[in-house]
Amino acid sequence: MTTRSGAQRRHLATSPFAPRVEPDIERFELHDRVTHAVLGLGRVISHESAAVTVDFGNCTRRIVSPFHKLEKL
């Protein structure tokens, strides 16, 4: 959870709630072979800090982070 200023709140040890776990975002490099749950097999042709562009053969798609349906082979 973030405050209005954008800073994250700290987790108190006495809190009854579990601390928020940040997901591990997978990193992709140029020419990595990947698979997508809907689009199938592809190859990374471009990568940015928060997105990758993947060529799936019949289409090219830009997929933004977090990459829920994209896995590295």
Q: Cβ distance 29 to 47 under 8 Å?
A: yes
Confidence at residue 44, expressed as pLDDT on a 0 to 100 scale: 96
What is the pTM assigned to this prediction?
Answer: 0.67
Confidence at residue 60, expressed as pLDDT on a 0 to 100 scale: 95
Confidence at residue 35, expressed as pLDDT on a 0 to 100 scale: 95
DSSP 3-state assignment of 67? Answer: coil
Confidence at residue 6, expressed as pLDDT on a 0 to 100 scale: 63
Average pLDDT across each block of 10 residues of the chain; the chain has 73 residues. List them in order: 66 87 82 93 92 94 88 91
Confidence at residue 30, expressed as pLDDT on a 0 to 100 scale: 94
